[in-house]
Amino acid sequence: METSPDTWRRCSACKNPILFGAMHWVCNVSTCNRPRTGLVFCTVSCWETHVPVMNHRESWAVEKKAPTREAWLREQQQASGGSPIRLKPAAPVPAPSRTPGVMTSMPAPRAATPPPRARAAEEGDDDVLVVASKLKAYVRARSEMNTSDGVLGPLSDWLRGLADEAIRNARRDGRKTVLDRDIPRRTRS
């Protein structure tokens, strides 16, 4: 992605430009401020979008000021061992609107993700879907029998079939959430 001569960095959440010398926000959590991570946000609301994703227990946004263009170029030159850094001119990017609810540009499109069933097929349908220790403890408590590891594969296949049927039931009802009522009821034997 090319950078405008006035752009220091882009917001880690909305990808709007952060200009040289402009105010921005960073997360107080050290893992968000490492050189490789280096998250920066154009607004506090953009910072708030990353908090649930990063699963921070206690965090806050710290207001900072972007460096000037000259200071940034000096810093980059020192980091690269003295070779000069040149920015490529790009088409000007309009400053983001600070009016709530008004977007000046469309967010970047996300890469298409395959549907969940296609991803499962790619990853392999042989993943175990049950907690082996819990199953073995249940069988031992109910019957004082041991459970072979060979049981886990067929049981996982059976669970996949139930889940697929529950997905079909939810789609038939026009929902995007599988509910307990979508799972087929078993008959007692």
What is the per-residue pLDDT for 139?
92
Cα-Cα-Cα-Cα dihedral of 142, 147, 149, 155, to 10°? Answer: -40
What integer is the mean pLDDT of 159-172? 91
- pLDDT of 115 > 60? The answer is no
Tens of pLDDT, residues 118-160: 555 555 567 888 888 888 899 999 999 999 988 988 998 888 8
CA 161 vs. chain centroid, Å, equals 28
What is the per-residue pLDDT for 132?
87
| Pairing label, strands 7-10, 23-27 | unpaired
φ, ψ dihedrals at 155, nearest 5°: -65, -40
Angstrom distance (rounded) from CA 5 to CA 111: 28
What integer is the mean pLDDT of 42-52? 84
What integer is the mean pLDDT of 47-52? 81
Collapse the DSSP code of 109 into the 3-class scheme (helix H, G, I; strand E, B; otherwise coil) and give the result: coil
- pLDDT of 104 > 50? The answer is no
What is the per-residue pLDDT for 34?
81
* Closest to 45 (Cα-Cα) out of 25, 73, 74, 71: 25
Cα-Cα-Cα-Cα dihedral of 166, 170, 176, 177, to 10°? Answer: -60
- Per DSSP, which regions of 17-59 are E strands? 17-19, 23-27
H-state helical runs in 3-151: 44-54, 69-79, 116-123, 132-143
Give the pLDDT band of residue 103 (cuts 50, 70, 90): very low
H or E element at residue 9: strand 7-10
Give the pLDDT band of residue 49 (cuts 50, 70, 90): confident
As given in the structure block, the two tokens for residue 113 are 């993700």
Collapse the DSSP code of 7 into the 3-class scheme (helix H, G, I; strand E, B; otherwise coil) and give the result: strand
Angstrom distance (rounded) from CA 24 to CA 39: 11
What is the per-residue pLDDT for 92?
56
Collapse the DSSP code of 80 into the 3-class scheme (helix H, G, I; strand E, B; otherwise coil) and give the result: coil
